[in-house]
Structures are given as C-alpha cells and as structure tokens.
Amino acid sequence: MRQLTGLFITVLLFLITIAWLTASYMPEFSSSLPKASFGTLAAQSVLKGLAIGALVLFLGIQFNLLWTAVSWFRPSSRSPVMEALTEFDIRRGWELLWTALPLVTTLVLLLWLLIGSGIT
C-alpha cells in the first residue's frame, strides 16, 4: 500500500508539473499563474546566495563521487569492491568518464556564465 501511495503522489506531481508548464505558455492562463519577482536588491542577493550555495553543494557531491570512484580502482581497495568490479565488468575508463562528466559540465557552464555575465 505504501508503494502505491508513493507511486500515486509521484504521478500526481508529474501531471501537475506538466499542466503548470503547459498553462504557463498559454496566454489566457499565464496571467492567472503566480509570478515570482526578484526586483529588489535584497531578493537578488538572496537568490544569488542560494545559487552559489547550491553550486558549492553540487560540486562537493560530485567531487566526493569522483574521489570514491577513483578509490575503487586502487590496488589497496577492499576485496568485495574488487570482486564487484570484476563481476559486473565495470571498466575503469568508462566509469571515471561517466562519473566526471557532470562535474566537468557544471564547471564549463559556470565558466560560460561567468564570462558571459561580465563578473570576471
């Protein structure tokens, strides 16, 4: 029953999101949707702080994941980890590539935004 409730909530949130996105592009409905404005200096600084905090958190998580993936392939790694790598045929190059890709993409986007915004 608990799984069914979770599935129901997930589907409901998905449908609400799709309806919201669809309605936001329809002129007759978009005027009735709530609007968020960050016009004041205080609101802009709060938004900037939240964005920087989210960026730092995401980069920290990605660095941790990459560090953990790199440590799997060290010779001193625990034998259950080595057995799992062998059993599932996990190749070092591909694993590190797909683990590092979100981190590299985030850093490239950050650099692009910094160059484009004139902050640097």
Position 120 pLDDT exceeds 60: no
Q: Is 58 helix (H, G, I), strand (E, B) or coil?
A: helix
Angle at 85 between CA 84 and CA 88, to 5 degrees: 75
pTM over 0.85: no
Q: Name the CA radius of gyration of the chain, rounded.
A: 22
Domain assignments of the chain as residue spans, ordered by start: 1-35, 39-120
119 φ, ψ (degrees, to nearest 5): -70, -35
Give the pLDDT confidence of 18-37 residue by residue, as tens digits. 998 888 788 777 777 677 77
- pLDDT band of residue 112 (cuts 50, 70, 90) is confident
Give the pLDDT confidence of 40-89 residue by residue, as tens digits. 888 788 888 888 899 999 999 999 999 988 887 777 656 777 777 777 87
Query: What distance in Å separates the CA atoms of residue 47 and residue 98, rounded to the nearest whole number?
Result: 30
- pLDDT band of residue 104 (cuts 50, 70, 90) is very high
